[in-house]
Amino acid sequence: MITLTNLYKRYNNRDGREAPWVLKDINLTIPKNVSVGLLGRNGAGKSTLLRLISGMDTPERGYVERHCQVSWPIGLSSGLQGSMTGRQNVKFVARVHGAHNEEIQRIIRYVYDFSELGASFDRPIKTYSSGMRSRLNFGLSLAFDFDVYLSDEATAVGDRAFKAKASKAFKDKVGLSSLIIVSHSEGILKELCQAGIYLKNGQAQWYDDINDAIAAYHEETPPPPAGSHKL
């Protein structure tokens, strides 16, 4: 279970002036073993909320309680050290999470195979494209057993074959773990999620049924062209 209480977040302007709240007075309880789709227009604060849930960012007010093991947001490549190679980053993260010897080698092999980076796995990640960094991050996240996986458009990374593999990896986790996922694909949200959170004007509305969350989103946003099934 994850609990968000009186959560506020904003990013002040460089000149010191106070910026508008990205998120304001969020109060939510995300139940155990429920996969959740996170919806909202661009700039609604979806990625910000994922970072707060993961602990990668801190709220200006309020707090987040995690009664489970939560991944970092898959698809966001921040936190990786640019001067280190992909292999070195994976080894470092594995050690931070308490892995030793054979387990570290298992994690390295898994990420190498999953990310499909080939020789680039042993090059500094500052030379990677954003897609390559996301694929490394994706594989690294799935190499660990978390109770809740966070995803920010991770299934949109790479070519069609990699997207299919990414989608299958999430499906394999459903039942073993739960997901909190941002995606513009209505099909993915309906397939992977039971519940939804809709962000609008800094506020968050919980829906027990993902279809109701999608309907609320469509009420605010004109539907996409017929056949696109994009949010």
Tell me, yes or no, whether 124 and 91 share the same domain: yes
Residue 155 maps to which CATH number? 3.40.50.300
Per-residue buried b or exposed e for 33-48, using 16+ beta carbons within 10 Å of the residue's own CB: eebbbbbbeeebbbbb
- Say if residue 23 is in the same domain as residue 45: yes
Verify that 224 and 152 share a domain, yes or no. Answer: yes
Could you tell me if 50 and 100 lie in one domain? Answer: no
**Mean of per-residue pLDDT scores for the chain:** 88
Give tens-digit pLDDT for 23-71: 999 999 999 999 999 999 989 999 999 999 999 999 999 999 999 999 8
Paired strand residues for 212: none
Distance CA 13, CA 174 (A): 40
**Residue that finishes a domain, picked among 144, 164, 182:** 144
Residues 97, 59 share a domain: no
Domain around 102:
77-144
Q: Is residue 169 domain-shared with residue 211, that is, in the same domain?
A: yes
Whether residue 6 is found in the same domain as residue 43: yes
Q: Which of 113, 144, 175 is the last residue of a domain?
A: 144
Per-residue confidence (pLDDT) for residue 228, from 0 to 100: 57
Same domain, 30 and 4: yes
Is residue 60 within 8 Å of residue 32, measured between CB atoms?
Answer: no
- At 25, list the tokens: 């007075």
User: Do 155 and 230 lie in a common domain?
Assistant: yes
Domain boundary among 111, 129, 144: 144
Average pLDDT over residues 6-19: 83
User: Which of the four pLDDT bands, split at 50, 70 and 90, describes residue 128?
Assistant: very high
Closest CA to 88 of 146, 132, 154, 136: 136
140 and 153 both lie in a single domain: no
Give the model confidence (pLDDT) of 165-179 as tens digits: 877 887 787 778 999
Position 151 scores a pLDDT of 87
Q: 158 and 63 in one domain?
A: yes
Is residue 12 located within the same domain as residue 105?
no
pLDDT of amino acid 157: 60
| pLDDT tens readout for residues 23-35 | 999 999 999 999 9
